[in-house]
Structure formats: structure tokens, C-alpha cells
Amino acid sequence: MPGCIGIDNLLEVGPLANIKSAIKRVKVAEKKRMRNKPVRNRARNVVASVRKAVASGDVDGATQGLPAAFSALDKAARKGIIHPNNAARRKSRLAKALAKAREAASS
């Protein structure tokens, strides 16, 4: 991905801190970012697919995808990638949107 700093070329990018501990923090932060990225992306993608299903009126598809979305958000919160309140808010909004879509489909 352009603009991303890899672990190998951290020191070749440009003016970084001269202090050894600051250089280490940059390396550690990059490793942590790379470890967190797949979990964050999974949560984002699963939530987006449920939202898309709700928007298109596919209540059954959204209902099937909801547990996966909840699980992905809970996992991200448990690992400290997103705040637990953020996960709870997203889950609440998804459930509310699905309930509204169910109501619209039944009437």
C-alpha cells in the first residue's frame, strides 16, 4: 500500500527521531498496526455487508449476517482495537436498522 511504512524500511523513510527508544516505539507501533489491521477490516467488512443487505431490503441475509457482525465487533473490542462502547453502539445501530427493515418488510 503506497505511503505505508514497512518494518524493514522504517529507518529509510526520512527524518525520524534520533533517540533509540523513540525509534523502537515507531517499530512497535507499526507491528501493532499491522496486527490490528485484519481484525479491524473484518469488522468493517462484515458490518458493511449487513448494512448493504438492510439497505437493499434483504432482511433474511441481514439476519444471517448479524451474528457474524456482532462477533467481529466483539472480537475487535476484546482485543482493544476499538473501544467497547464503540462496538456496543455499532451493534445497537445495526440491530435497530434491521428491526426497522423487518417492520417495513412485514407491512
Number of domains within the chain = 1
Q: Which domain holds residue 83?
A: 38-106
Q: Is residue 8 part of a domain?
A: no
Q: Is residue 55 part of a domain?
A: yes
For the whole model, what pTM was predicted? 0.78
Rounded Cα distance, 5 and 11, in Å: 9
pLDDT digits (tens, 9 = 90+) for 34-69: 999 999 999 999 999 999 999 998 999 999 999 999
Does the pLDDT value for residue 15 go beyond 80? no
Q: Is residue 100 part of a domain?
A: yes
First to last CA, the chain: 47
Mean pLDDT for the stretch of residues 85-93: 97
Q: Is residue 66 part of a domain?
A: yes
CATH code assigned at 93: 1.20.58.110
Q: Is residue 7 part of a domain?
A: no
Q: Is residue 33 part of a domain?
A: no
Mean pLDDT (the chain, rounded): 89
Q: Is residue 72 part of a domain?
A: yes
